[in-house]
Amino acid sequence: MASSSDVTSSADNTPANGDPVNGSEERRGRVRLRRAAVMAVPATAVAAGLAIMTAQGALGVQFAISGMPFVVTADKLEGDGFAQFGSLDHMIENSPNEGDTGGQVLVVTSVVKNGKLTNLCQSVDLGGIQLVLTAGDKGTKVNVENLAIDSDDITGNAAFNNIEIGRDASTFDKVDTRGLPGVYGQQADKVVITDLYQHNYGATAAVFKLPDLHMRFGGKGCPQ
């Protein structure tokens, strides 16, 4: 989700005469607020932690997001090994999709170590036309391993086995993906979510098997 270059000091963004650049002090204020909402540690520790944990593959999404959200729905998600924690996704500098975000999006990273999805749908709005992907809707379920998906809105009916709420995200032991030290998280042995809806910005997976895959363009996205 980030590298050491994503976390810079305010001095790097301000010229010698003190005039703000790239959107003024207000924009930098929004960025700092998002960091503060997720990471209750000093800025220097955040920078070092991001660099180390990205190198170790400990974070979920490890690329610059486009800033175009996509929707994922499923009739049912069944997962062995589950975790969630707060994080930040980053766009490229001066992304045309950053709007008033400052190039950063506050997200919840959901991790499934081994999972199955029934009737998966994914759609993205490409400016008036939807690119829609469906799979696992003809009797064979979608299979995922080490899935990490970054969302800013999630709904559904969820049931957890042996859940731990408020655990430090850097100490997870039920999944292979971890957050930064001091970040609020939760993990469980198992999760089942029916009528799943996610509004997402990025995802990674070690394995993503899509039986009966169908991709198409259309006027409507995934049903919500």
The lowest-confidence range among 28-42, 123-137, 138-152, 188-202 is: 28-42
DSSP letter at 92 equals: P
What's residue 103's pLDDT? 93
Short-list 148, 166, 153, CA closest to 203? 148
Predicted TM-score of the model (pTM): 0.74
Report percent pLDDT > 90 for the chain: 70
Question: Do 111 and 145 meet the contact criterion of CB atoms below 8 Å apart?
Answer: no
pLDDT band at 224 (very low <50, low <70, confident <90, very high): confident
Residue 6 pLDDT greater than 70, yes or no = no
What's residue 44's pLDDT? 37
What's residue 60's pLDDT? 54
pLDDT band at 28 (very low <50, low <70, confident <90, very high): low
What's residue 146's pLDDT? 95
Name every residue whose Cβ is closer than 8 Å to that of residue 132 and which is 6 or more positions away in sequence: 121, 122, 123, 215, 216, 217, 218, 220, 221, 222
Residues 181, 171: Cα–Cα separation, whole Å: 8
What's residue 223's pLDDT? 86
Name every residue whose Cβ is closer than 8 Å to that of residue 33 and which is 6 or more positions away in sequence: none
Residue 3 pLDDT greater than 60, yes or no = no
For 134-146, what is each residue's pLDDT tens digit?
999 999 999 999 9
Check residues 85 and 5 and name the one with the higher pLDDT: 85
Question: Do 87 and 34 meet the contact criterion of CB atoms below 8 Å apart?
Answer: no
Check residues 167 and 2 and name the one with the higher pLDDT: 167
What average pLDDT score do residues 9-26 get? Answer: 47
Residue 55 pLDDT greater than 70, yes or no = no
What is the 3 state secondary structure string of 146-198?
A: EEEEEEEEEEEEEEEECCEEEEEHHHCCCCCCCCCCCCEEEEEEEEEEEEEEE
For 61-112, what is each residue's pLDDT tens digit?
678 999 999 999 999 999 999 999 999 999 999 999 999 999 999 999 999 9
pLDDT band at 130 (very low <50, low <70, confident <90, very high): very high
Residue 152 pLDDT greater than 60, yes or no = yes
